[in-house]
Amino acid sequence: MAETTDDRLRLLIERVERLEEEKKGIADDIRDVYAEAKAVGYDAKIMRQIVRLRKMSPDDRAEMETILDLYKAALGLG
């Protein structure tokens, strides 16, 4: 009985571990794509910004840019 419960816990933990492995594999693939982009001359940091911007709605993007401009002006950035 206790063994069955232990097995259930172990199986749940092992499912998490397999999924974490998969997730790590994909994170590695993402790193590879950025490395490939860098190798052909793109700026990986800017690409990450683009990915982030494309995830936002046009409204959210416009709002973020307005606030960013405001803060930049307040701090005397170009």
In the complex, the residues that contact its own copies under the rule CB under 8 A are: 8-9, 12-13, 15-17, 19-20, 22-23, 26-27, 29-30, 33-34, 36-37, 40, 42, 47, 50-51, 54
Radius of gyration for the alpha carbons in the chain, expressed in angstroms and rounded: 22
Q: Which is nearer to its own copies, 38 or 72 (CB)?
A: 38
CA angle 15, 17, 22 (to 5 degrees): 95
Supply the minimum distance, in Å, between the C-beta of residue 71 and its own copies.
26
Helix 2-39 to helix 44-55 angle (10° resolution) is 120
Q: Which is nearer to its own copies, 5 or 76 (CB)?
A: 5
